[in-house]
Structure 1
Amino acid sequence: MTYRFLICLIVFGTFSFTFSQGSPDYEGGLNIAFDENGKKYLRIISWAQVQAIHNDQVPDEQEQTNFNLARARILMFSQINEKFLILTHFGLNNLNSNSMSPTGLSDASELFFHGVWAQYNLGKRHSVGAGLHYFNGISRLNNQSTLNIMTLDNNRQSWSTVGLSDQFGRHLGIYAKGSLGKLQYRVALNDAITNGLDDRDPQNGGSAVYAGKRLLGSAESGKVFSGYFEYSLFDMESDVLPYKVGTYLGGKRIFNVGAGFFAHPSGSVRADVDGILEPEDVRIFAVDAFYDAPWGNDGSAITAYATYQYNDYGEDYFFLAYGTGNMAYGHLGYLLPGSVLKTRFQPYASYAVNTYDAFENNRTIFGIGANTYFSGHNSKLTLEYRHESFGDDKLGTLTLQAMIYL
């Protein structure tokens, strides 16, 4: 059993001026307006997540409780008129006593860009942009924000390209986004990363490795394509920023159905029995549905999400959390009756099953937990038990998380 105690101190601004985050105290975050109508502005978003992690499954000579700076970020976006916008997002992740260096020059100690993009607005409903961006395809969860998520964290396998074709969930390229009536879309053409996490070389007659650009060259394996399309049956969601809200706590009435894809021609490589490299396309498709709405007139609300995803990373591919096969995931939460001005409680449960062509066993992940909202997502506690099973490997994790963002 592993116990994690996570304290997140977050200062966060958002584009919305409603109670979509569930807090009556939140009024637009940190915003500097340069005119009276708000068309010229600078928004600054800053957050830090600090963890104290206790693990009793370590050797006797190792300390069981350690600290970790999981995220330290600054995000800024600005416009001087409604025609264009620029966004810059930088920070670091997972700084701990093992990754720190005496002079702060190690890879883990250094800041890097999580996002830098310039956007041109083609009227009020359509935009195009370029840079290191987070307008991803596949599913809602591959575009998930971690600051207003309902469960403790995102379903890991739904961030389906992290480190394989991108830099920490962000690709470098061009995108287009917008809405056609009730249909919202985001599509992108990007460069694939050359040196991804999968640094293996193919074994003769073995399974595929995700290293097409590194082994075959950029002419054959340099570009990736992605898109996500969702239809809103009820309220429309903001798409100013790419980050999808996990739960509105009854602040909106949302019912969206979506579908998305990711394609990387010759993204993976196999070696035949003679050692000759053969390219294989990476193809991922998903359909999903998201429901979040008040339930009655007593302040209660329901949040539900379900997705099915087909993953093809190449023949018998398996690496870390990723593998060729199928994935189904869902979660359900119920916000108990109460006033937005008082402490709220939200029990929830989640379940995921992954099948892999390379294994007979499935990976299953079950989570059950509850959120305590002191001021919506701006101040909350989350307690979650998570059980993961994959063949003979089983792992139970109990996590307590405290989060504040302003």
Structure 2
Amino acid sequence: MNFKQLFIALSMLGAYGVMAQPTTLNEGKEITSGLTISGSGQIWMRYSDLNPGSRINDNPVDHVYDISIRRYRLSFKGRASENINFALLIGNNNLNLKNPDTPPTILEMYMNYKFSDKLIITAGKSGWTGLSRYAAPSSSNSLGLDVNFAAGPLLNFQDDRYRKYSIAAHGISGKLDYRAVIAKPVNTRSNSVLTDDAKLVYNPNSLYTSAYVKYQFLENEPSTPFSAGTFLGTKDILNVGVGFLNQTKSAASLSVQNDTLTHAARSFAIDAFYEQKLTNNHSWTLYAAYLNHDIGPNYVRNLAADNVVDAGQSSSFNGVGNAVPVNGTGNIFVLQAGYLQKLEGEAPLMEGIQPFVTAQYLDLDAFDDPVMLYEGGISFLLRGHNSKFVFGYQNWPVIMKDMSMKTTRNSMAVLMYQFKFN
């Protein structure tokens, strides 16, 4: 079965579910009674080193202090009938000195039809995707300061903050949790100037497919499109997962003869997640992943989270601001660990503290030497993820345009406050 046939088959399956739905319920009453509203916000107070050549309003700068809104979300979920649910999510990222008044956007709008716990069909704009646990990471339930970007080689170029227009089949059968997705890439950026190194391009005929299956040895996790970084010791979890993604016509480069070469994006991942239920007021959270990306020769994805630096020429390969090489063609290893200590006593100021560390090793084809990224910090949990302060420190190498590594590394320190309500 080719991609076109698969797309048509999934569409017909979703349509059959809608048409087969009984209509005995009062739709207006059911939607109103089943509607839930939730939201979240993250405020960053930050100091960051900046890569060489960075400029703000045409002023050369090598560091910056700032306060920004990293993310905010407002979610509406409801039940249209016995088997049909819908969701609408609005919000935005990175309201900062450079973008002080970015309006809200529709991040998600989808419906799903539940045949059973083993088979749910979701259609629309959603975060369902395959490859690995953190191919769709939950930013508001993260273990660290921010999400890990190793599993997002196409992030914000051919999707919208991990969301895609897609049809997904997902569910839980016993201890197996699975998701299989077919999507059309979105066109969020203009195509790059081509060189002999692969760059992402948009092709209207490209197609994205992915899948991820995990076996849950202990408790089952909730089946959601975005995966939590920690459940704060409320569950005993041990999962091992494997997945892939394939997107046709996703990148391009120039040959020696100056001909345009087109490349598919192919990725494979295997990962494991462990969390210990609170025992003697403490809990461990561990995550490990291996990822292999093949997105054309020497493809590297640089990403600058909450960047306040103007676009312009940089003397480094990283790019301007706090840009970091987070993934690319080659092999990537990710290790993450957190330790939660619940605080006792009468009406303590905090429920607990949770130190965390993340190390990412990138062996990319573009670089002669491996790239190491580090993050560490501590979360101060006032009311779990619903109210917390997180102090995080990130450190990354500055890679020059001749691919040599500078002996010095740049750093960023952030104090974040997060709130959630539901």
The TM-score normalised by the length of structure 2 is 0.77
Give the Cα separation in 1 of the matches to 2:179 and 2:135: 12
Equivalent residue for 1:331, pick from 317, 321, 336: 336
Which residue is 2:98 aligned to? 98
Equivalent in 302, 309, 312 of residue 284 of structure 2: 302
> Shift in Å at residue 112 of structure 1?
1.8
1:341-379 deviation line (CA, Å, top 9, x unaligned): 743122222111111101112221122222221222222
The change in CA–CA distance for 1:346 and 1:111 in structure 2 (over 3 A counts) is closer
Report whether the alignment pairs 1:288 with 2:271.
yes
Aligned partner letter, 2:284: I
Q: Distance in 2 between matches of 1:70 and 1:82?
A: 37
- Of 154-163 and 337-346, more deviation after overlay is shown by 337-346
Deviation at 1:295, TM superposition (A): 5.7
C-alpha deviation, 1:149, in angstroms = 1.0
**Residue type of the partner of 1:371?**
S
Structure-2 separation of matches of 1:40 and 1:81: 11
Give the whole-Å Cα distance in 2 for the aligned partners of 1:49 and 1:295: 26
Q: Is the CA contact (8 Å cut-off) linking 1:125 and 1:179 kept in structure 2?
A: yes
Corresponding residue number in structure 2 for 1:278: 261
Q: Tell me, what secondary structure is at the counterpart of 1:309? A: strand
Shift of 1:79: 0.2
Q: Between the two proteins, what is the percent identity of the paired residues?
A: 24
1:127-155 CA-to-partner distances (Å, cap 9, x unmatched) read: 10111110111111112111121111111
Gaps of at least 5 residues in structure 1 are: 1-32
CA distance in 2, matches of 1:224, 1:90: 24
Q: Structure 1's 129 and 141: CA in aligned 2 closer, same or farther, altered over 3 A?
A: same
Residues in 2 aligned to 1:403 and 1:350: alpha-carbon distance in whole angstroms: 20
1:253 equivalent to 2:236? Answer yes
Alignment of 1:1-400 (within 5 A): 40-55=33-48, 64-100=64-100, 109-196=102-189, 199-203=191-195, 206-211=196-201, 213=203, 218-219=204-205, 222-239=206-223, 241-294=224-277, 296=279, 298-320=280-302, 321=325, 322-336=327-341, 338-339=343-344, 342=348, 343-390=351-398, 391-392=405-406, 394-400=409-415
Ranges in structure 2 where 5+ consecutive residues have no aligned partner: 1-27, 303-324, 399-404
Give the deviation of 1:55 after TM superposition: 4.5
Match of 1:69, as an amino acid? I
CA contact (8 A) 1:212 1:269 kept: no
Equivalent-residue separation in structure 2 for 1:371 and 1:87 (angstroms): 30
Q: Provide TM-score, normalisation by structure 1.
A: 0.80
CA distance in 1 between counterparts of 2:127 and 2:362 reads: 25
Whole-angstrom distance in 1 between the partners of 2:296 and 2:275? 36
Q: Are the equivalent residues in 2 in contact too, given 1:202–1:271 (CA < 8 A)?
A: yes
Q: State the 1:64 CA deviation.
A: 4.6
Contact residue 166 and residue 196 of structure 1 kept, 8 A:
no
Q: Give the match's secondary structure for 2:150.
A: helix
Q: 1:353, 1:334 → 2: CA distance?
A: 22
Equivalent AA in structure 2 for residue 153 of structure 1 = D
Structure 1 position 290, deviation (Å): 0.3
Distance 2:287 2:178 in 1: 19
CA pair 394-56 structure 1, distance change in 2 beyond 3 A: closer
Instruction: Give the C-alpha shift of residue 178 in structure 1.
Output: 0.5
Is contact 2:40–2:419 with CA below 8 Å preserved after alignment? no
Choose 337-346 or 310-319, whichever is displaced more.
337-346
In structure 2, what is the Cα distance between the partners aligned to 1:228 and 1:160? 16
Shift of 1:39: 11
Q: Which amino acid counterpart does residue 333 of structure 1 have in structure 2?
A: G
Question: Residues 153-191 of structure 1: CA distance to partner in whole angstroms, max 9, x if unpaired?
Answer: 111223332123212211112111101211011111101
1:147 is paired with a residue of what secondary structure?
helix
Structure 1 pair 130–304 and aligned structure 2 pair: CA distance change class (3 A): same
